[in-house]
Amino acid sequence: MYLKLFKKLISIVLIVISILGYEKTILINAHADEKKIVYLTFDDGPAGKVTKDVLDILKNESVPATFFLIGSQIKGQESLVKRIYNEGHSLGLHSMSHKKSSLYCSNESFLKEMLDTQETINSIVGIKPNILRFPFGCNNNGYKLSQSMVDLLHKNNLKIYDWNTDSGDGECPNANPSRFIRNSKTDKEHVVLLMHCAYMSKNSVKALPSIIKYYKDNGYEFKVIDENTPEEYHFIKK
């Protein structure tokens, strides 16, 4: 009797071990099959030669990127907006003014700036981008993202995209390019990299080829952010 019971216990243990081993294999294989993706994103354009130089590098490297544009800077630089669009990059909204005092005084003022930027882009390339990035991020020293803001933006078919890796070129644009390269390196599976193509972002241009090389060498696929990309935002104020 005890022998039979012992054999049953052994059988149960072996079955459990085999099941656990099988599940572990499936999880490992599933993880291994996941593609590593990087989204190169550039804020604060269009900005003359700097934005042009960024586009030249992207074209030479055959990689796409996403540009979050400031609406008030577009006048006189319509050709750059057209080039961004025609070369297969994604256009996003980054407000009309990029000024905290007017942008964040109310949810409605924020929405208006984004919709005005959307219309400005539409008048040039015939599309209405619905992806946006909060100037200074959706949680900065003058504003914290609220659920009411999220609801308002979603009601107007707008989607929010922060970042999960920061090159640091916005805070210290004149820093050595090696600093931006170092900050941009990560082993995350999905990278949303914050960079800038503003007038003062000359050192970002110098860093960009090495940043692209790092992600190519590490097997990342370069993608643009569009309406089908999962949103990226955090820390909603209660």
Contact 234/74 with Cβ under 8 angstroms?
A: no
* Per-residue pLDDT band at 25 (split at 50, 70, 90): very low
Secondary structure (DSSP) of 102-158: HHTS-HHHHHHHHHHHHHHHHHHHS----EE--TT-SEETTEE-BHHHHHHHHHTT-
pLDDT, tens digit, 9 for 90 and up, residues 42-51? 999 999 999 9
Average pLDDT over residues 36-45: 99
Residues catalogued as catalytic: 43, 196
**How large a percentage of the chain has pLDDT more than 90?**
83
* Per-residue pLDDT band at 234 (split at 50, 70, 90): confident
pTM (2 d.p.): 0.85
The CATH number that domain 35-222 falls under is 3.20.20.370
Show the DSSP H helices in the chain as ranges. Answer: 2-33, 48-61, 78-86, 100-103, 107-125, 147-155, 177-184, 202-217
- Report the DSSP beta bridge partners of residue 87: none
